[in-house]
């Protein structure tokens, strides 16, 4: 039977290449989707008889197959899996449907039972860590990825990703797999090694999602340690970072909802303390990622303002060093997005919505970055904070009127403030890597060719410096600019970038993480 007939139902519906793994497609797992399974008439005949895998063994070990339930998927080169005895479908492990609130009372609805004949977590940890591949990938994460996850003037042992993530990955299987997946993807692109980023990374990511589901079940059942709980939050962050590097669209954004549900179940808004520095660090970063996700669609905002206030009051200055945006501004934009979410759901009248947003915008205009505490003594932080402040101002104005012409003074002024602030940040400074969101927001409302060109140049500098690309900002900007070029000459209305964040193949917006 031809390949076009052998795809799983989900891949067929989305018109994309399927890896044909049984009992569920690994491509679906890696994208955080429910695999629709296969019609019974489809048969699978082992290793491909032509193409790059001709005369090669399947690129997966026996242990890998027992954990993942299928052969390793390769996105661009089809690797059919050997036929399994059972065609029964298994629900996707640990992936939370973003359209349905996660219910911690019924974790079995989203979590796979442990697979039959798999080794214990301890044995699997030892087996994985003893491999030369894992050693290479962990070393790469430590030396090349960790330094770019936080804006520090000097790379040192004080890097929280070295302090928290790596030791925890040696103890927690779900986090180990997530780190290996991200590192394989990054190293594969640096070396132009398709096997690493199309095969090894996808395999480890699928394993990470599977193991994450098991750990979530453990936490929700009450039989967990602090390492179990923190590994869930850390794994979600690493999976999201992987998505950011790959496409900028999160296949695992729904996990943020799961993190919030765990926080609610454990009553962390009441019980967290400053002594739980590692937990606060991971959750603080997820709070910002949740806000970034809500920039394109406020309805996706998940964390409560109560928990945000608690977490940001406990965070130290590492929060700004990782995320860039000062906590005062984070709380203001979060309140703005909360207001927009309530209005869109009909819980808030327009007058209250309008007045609340206007008052929040006034707070942003009055905020003084020169009086703020920053991670170090560099005066560049004032420019960083100003860029974020005006990025949030632009988003707030667009919530009130998405069609307002970008030529309006208040829009134009914020664009210029962002561009001037970024101009104060040398390309040699690690702080430039924090500027993706402000540059994107300025670019979306830039009308002049030179402003757009400057935005592109700085985004390319960031990509070159960090060697961790995010294609989403430029992709969206090009769509906005192209649509503006197609406007009638007398039409000065805005082209909202949010309108291009919708997925035409689904009923909801993609989770864009422009960071």
CB 244 within 8 Å of CB 513: yes
User: CA distances (Å), 136 to each of 128, 130, 451, in order?
Assistant: 12, 11, 42
Percentage of residues in the chain having pLDDT higher than 90: 53
Cis peptide preceding 127, ω within 30 of 0: no
Which stretches does DSSP call E strand in 297-371? none
- The tens digit of pLDDT for each residue in 282-309 reads 999 999 999 998 998 898 898 999 999 9
Q: Provide the residue count of the chain.
A: 515
Nearest to 138 by CA among 182, 74, 83, 76: 182
Which pLDDT score is estimated for 97? 34
Which pLDDT score is estimated for 313? 94
- Top-confidence residue, 343 or 197: 343
CB 513 within 8 Å of CB 436: no
- Top-confidence residue, 477 or 16: 477
Q: The tokens of 5 are what?
A: 């007939």
Angle at 96 between CA 92 and CA 101, to 5 degrees: 140
CB 71 within 8 Å of CB 81: yes
Other beta carbons within 10 Å of 478: 14
- DSSP label of 3: G
Q: The tokens of 111 are what?
A: 């979590």
The Cα–Cα gap between 381 and 368 comes to: 12
Q: The tokens of 412 are what?
A: 């134009």
- Top-confidence residue, 22 or 103: 22
Check whether 139 has a pLDDT greater than 70.
yes
Which pLDDT score is estimated for 503? 61
* 91 class by beta-carbon count within 10 Å (0-12 exposed, 13-18 middle, 19+ buried): middle
Dmax of the chain from CA atoms? 69
pTM given for the model = 0.76
Which of 33-42, 124-133, 260-269 is the least confident region?
33-42
- HEC string of 449-496 equals HHHHHHHHHHHHHHHHHHCCCCCHHHHHHHHHHHHHHCCCCCCCCCCC
Mean pLDDT, range 487-511, rounded to an integer:
76
Nearest to 129 by CA among 158, 98, 171, 95: 171
Mean pLDDT, range 441-447, rounded to an integer:
96
Q: The tokens of 80 are what?
A: 């059919």
The Cα–Cα gap between 105 and 93 comes to: 16
Nearest to 72 by CA among 130, 123, 133, 140: 133
Q: What are the counts of helices (DSSP H) followed by strands (DSSP E) for the chain?
A: 23, 2
Which pLDDT score is estimated for 60? 35
Mean pLDDT, range 270-282, rounded to an integer:
93
Q: Report residue 510's pLDDT band, with 50, 70 and 90 as the boundaries.
A: low
């Amino acid at each position: 039977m031809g390949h076009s007939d052998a795809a799983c139902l989900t891949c067929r519906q989305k018109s994309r290449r399927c890896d044909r793994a049984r009992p569920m497609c690994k491509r679906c797992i890696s994208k955080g989707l429910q695999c629709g399974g296969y019609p019974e008439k489809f048969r699978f005949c082992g290793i491909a008889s032509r193409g790059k895998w001709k005369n090669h063994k399947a690129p997966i070990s026996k242990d890998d197959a027992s954990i993942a339930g299928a052969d390793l998927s390769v996105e661009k080169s089809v690797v059919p899996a050997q036929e399994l005895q059972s065609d029964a479908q298994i629900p996707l492990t640990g992936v939370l449907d973003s359209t349905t609130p996660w219910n911690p009372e019924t974790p079995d609805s989203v979590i796979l039972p442990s697979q039959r004949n798999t080794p214990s977590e301890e044995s699997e940890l030892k087996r994985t860590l003893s491999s030369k591949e894992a050693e290479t990938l962990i070393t790469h994460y430590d030396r090349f990825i960790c330094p770019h996850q936080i804006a520090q003037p000097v790379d040192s042992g004080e890097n929280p990703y070295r302090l928290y993530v790596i030791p925890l990955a040696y103890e927690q299987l779900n986090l180990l797999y997530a780190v290996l997946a991200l590192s394989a993807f990054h190293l594969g692109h640096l070396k132009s090694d398709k096997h690493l980023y199309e095969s090894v990374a996808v395999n480890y990511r699928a394993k990470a999602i599977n193991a994450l589901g098991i750990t979530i079940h453990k936490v929700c059942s009450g039989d967990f340690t602090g390492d179990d709980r923190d590994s869930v939050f850390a794994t979600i962050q690493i999976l999201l970072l992987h998505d950011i590097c790959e496409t900028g669209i999160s296949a695992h954004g729904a996990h943020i909802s799961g993190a919030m549900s765990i926080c609610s179940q454990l009553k962390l808004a009441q019980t967290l303390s400053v002594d739980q520095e590692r937990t606060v660090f991971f959750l603080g970063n997820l709070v910002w990622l949740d806000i970034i996700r809500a920039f394109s669609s406020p309805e996706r905002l998940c964390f409560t303002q109560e928990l945000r206030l608690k977490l940001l009051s406990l965070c130290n200055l590492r929060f700004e060093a990782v995320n860039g945006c000062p906590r005062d501004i984070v709380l203001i934009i979060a309140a703005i997005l909360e207001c927009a979410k309530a209005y869109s759901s009909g819980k808030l009248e327009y007058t209250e919505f309008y007045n609340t947003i206007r008052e929040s915008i006034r707070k942003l205009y009055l905020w003084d970055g020169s009086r703020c505490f920053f991670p170090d003594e560099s005066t560049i932080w004032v420019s960083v904070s100003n860029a974020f402040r005006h990025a949030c101002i632009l988003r707030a104005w667009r919530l009130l009127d998405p069609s307002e012409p970008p030529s309006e003074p208040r829009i134009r002024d914020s664009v210029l403030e962002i561009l001037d602030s970024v101009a104060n940040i040398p390309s040699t400074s690690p702080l430039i890597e924090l500027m993706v969101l402000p540059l994107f927001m300025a670019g979306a409302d830039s009308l002049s060719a030179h402003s757009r060109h400057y935005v592109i140049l700085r985004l390319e500098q960031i990509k070159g410096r960090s060697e961790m690309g995010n294609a989403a900002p430029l992709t969206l900007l090009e769509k906005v600019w192209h649509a503006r070029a197609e406007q009638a000459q007398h039409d000065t209305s805005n082209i909202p970038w949010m309108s291009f964040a919708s997925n035409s193949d689904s009923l909801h917006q993609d989770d864009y993480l422009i960071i």
